[in-house]
């Protein structure tokens, strides 16, 4: 079973999912090993790997280490064309539908396409939506795009609907790495009710309570990165919030 089919099957059955996001620039070999072990124990569903800006050559090492210490699928969450890597299981083919930067809607995709095809990666077309979180994030800065205001639920809903109509297979609402305010439950619920594709929510989800609220509001998958970097023990608590 491929990664996307697993996500769809889990979503259809009502099984909530957790992905741990790993930034290769912030991950030592020991840290990746420990994260993989804790994720195994907690029954984490996926690893996402990538970052808005990667300055090291650590990505391959991280992916291979995750696959050595865990059987959990590894999905690239790319911040640039340079983050295509054939060692992973799949890649989120992100279209930044919340912004109006053509490079992030199609330009970078044209450049990346032959590399992704050559790497034989499973491709998951994903409508990526940056949501304002109270402070600038690396993602909004690097993408040269304005996020959707935190309280503009209708804009988020219509944007997600358009993304699904364009054929995108998932919607990803992201407040950004280390966000002070996560995507609201009201926005999550409104978007979930408007689309039939799996809904992913990330950014600022650092407690089980926040995760539970978002799952209840309709998130099919929560992505946690910065919180895990600060305290790996949170993995088990976030995983328990699925139930």
pLDDT of residue 142: 77
What confidence category does residue 187 fall into, taking pLDDT thresholds of 50, 70 and 90? Answer: very high
pLDDT digits (tens, 9 = 90+) for 191-232: 999 999 999 999 999 999 999 999 999 999 999 999 999 999
Alpha helices, DSSP H, located in the chain: 3-13, 29-42, 59-69, 102, 108-119, 138-143, 153-165, 185-194, 208-217, 226-230, 234-240
User: What domains are there in the chain, each with its CATH number?
Assistant: 3-240 (3.20.20.390)
What confidence category does residue 138 fall into, taking pLDDT thresholds of 50, 70 and 90? Answer: confident
| Rounded-to-integer distance, Cα 70 and Cα 89, Å | 13
Helix, strand, coil proportions of the chain in percent (round to 5)? 45, 20, 35
| Rounded-to-integer distance, Cα 194 and Cα 243, Å | 24
Alpha helices, DSSP H, located in 43-107: 59-69, 102
| Better-predicted residue by pLDDT, 97 or 137 | 97
Half-sphere exposure of 198 (CA within 13 A, CB side): 26
Residue range 165-177: average pLDDT?
Answer: 95
CB 47 within 8 A of CB 63: no
CA 106 to chain centre: 19
b/e per residue 56-83 (b: at least 16 CB within 10 A):
eebbebbbebbbebbebbbbbbbbeeeb
- What's the chain's Rg over C-alpha atoms? 16
Report the mean per-residue pLDDT for the chain.
94
What confidence category does residue 180 fall into, taking pLDDT thresholds of 50, 70 and 90? Answer: confident
Q: What pTM, to 2 d.p., does this model score?
A: 0.95
CB 45 within 8 A of CB 4: no
At residue 126, the 3 state secondary structure works out as strand
* Residue 84 pLDDT > 80: yes
């Amino acid at each position: 079973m491929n990664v996307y089919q697993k996500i769809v099957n889990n979503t259809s059955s009502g099984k909530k999912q957790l992905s741990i996001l790993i930034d290769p620039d912030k991950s030592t070999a020991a840290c990746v090993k420990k994260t993989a072990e804790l994720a195994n124990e907690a029954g984490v569903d996926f690893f996402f790997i990538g970052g808005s800006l990667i300055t090291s050559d650590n990505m391959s090492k991280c992916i291979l280490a995750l696959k050595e210490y865990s059987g959990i699928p590894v999905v690239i969450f790319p911040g640039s064309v340079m983050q295509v890597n054939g060692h992973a299981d799949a890649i989120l083919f992100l279209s930044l539908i919340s912004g109006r930067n053509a490079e992030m809607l199609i330009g970078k995709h044209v450049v990346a396409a032959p590399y992704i095809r050559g790497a034989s990666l499973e491709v998951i077309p994903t409508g990526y939506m940056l949501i304002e979180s109270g402070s600038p994030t690396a993602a909004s800065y690097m993408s040269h795009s304005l996020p959707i205001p935190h309280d503009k639920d209708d804009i988020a809903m219509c944007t997600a609907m358009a993304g699904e109509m364009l054929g995108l297979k998932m919607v990803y609402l992201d407040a950004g790495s280390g966000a002070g305010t996560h995507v609201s439950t009201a926005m999550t619920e409104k978007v979930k009710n408007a689309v039939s594709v799996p809904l992913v929510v990330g950014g600022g989800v650092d407690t089980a309570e926040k995760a539970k609220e978002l799952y209840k509001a309709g998130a099919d998958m929560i992505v946690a990165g910065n919180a895990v970097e600060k305290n790996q023990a949170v993995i088990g608590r976030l995983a328990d919030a699925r139930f």
